[in-house]
Chains A and B, each alone.
Chain A
Amino acid sequence: EAQVTQNPRYLITVTGKKLTVTCSQNMNHEYMSWYRQDPGLGLRQIYYSMNVEVTDKGDVPEGYKVSRKEKRNFPLILESPSPNQTSLYFCASTLTGGRSPLHFGNGTRLTVT
């Protein structure tokens, strides 16, 4: 089944403890991206990747890192999480070219205390 898989679904952590949220897709998509969603603010893009080893900042990249060492995986790294990074996170992927829809993962709800 074609899908975008995020792990974990729920994560509670403490300030400063490094964490990684994984995202994997099995559709051979070039484009992958991360979003965070907070009440009243809609979906805001954190980082995106046009292909392997190509990443760029979205609208809210501060406090996050990403890597794209292989096509299927696009992990989101929080080196030193803070409470303002408590949010619902979504990963998405698609083919490049603008003619294919985005496929979203089921989300990761992160709480930083």
Chain B
Amino acid sequence: DAKTTQPPSMDCAEGRAANLPCNHSTISGNEYVYWYRQIHSQGPQYIIHGLKNNETNEMASLIITEDRKSSTLILPHATLRDTAVYYCIVPNAGGTSYGKLTFGQGTILTVHP
């Protein structure tokens, strides 16, 4: 699976947009980008995923650059409950997809009042 790089931490004011970047420069053409978050010691929670086009759901938006080498997760109106560790991963979408999978340490997002 493609390696991802994320900043270790970010801050955001409550009510403002949180933009979390992820670099995945070794991504190949058929690999999806997935975002998860983990609050305290709970199991990671799926947020959103995409291949080429930008995606939006009730939780967030995902912007993928045209060359697909990086993406940004956007929480449009961050709340205190969005304080969590955010992981960007790229599992291999080929025949051996979701094999060995590396999560990395993610980005600790702190939303403050």
Binding site for B on A (CB under 8 A): 4, 31, 33, 35, 37, 40-45, 48, 50, 56-59, 88, 90, 92, 94, 96-99, 101-107, 109
Contacts and interface: CB of A to CB of B under 8 A. Distances in A.
A45 B46 CA distance: 17
- A contact face: mostly helix, strand, loop, or mixed: strand
Contacts of A37: 41
Contacts of A92: 43-44
Interface string B18-58: 00000000000011101010000111111001000000000
Given A4-B43, A42-B87, A105-B43, 12 more contacts: A42-B104, A44-B103, A45-B103, A48-B100, A94-B98, A97-B97, A98-B32, A98-B91, A99-B32, A102-B36, A102-B44, A107-B43
A98 B42 contact: no
Interface residues of B, number: 28
A31 B103 contact: no
A38 B62 CA distance: 28
Contact of A98 (B31, B102, B106): B31
A45 B97 CA distance: 15
A106 B42 contact: yes
A97 B102 CA distance: 17
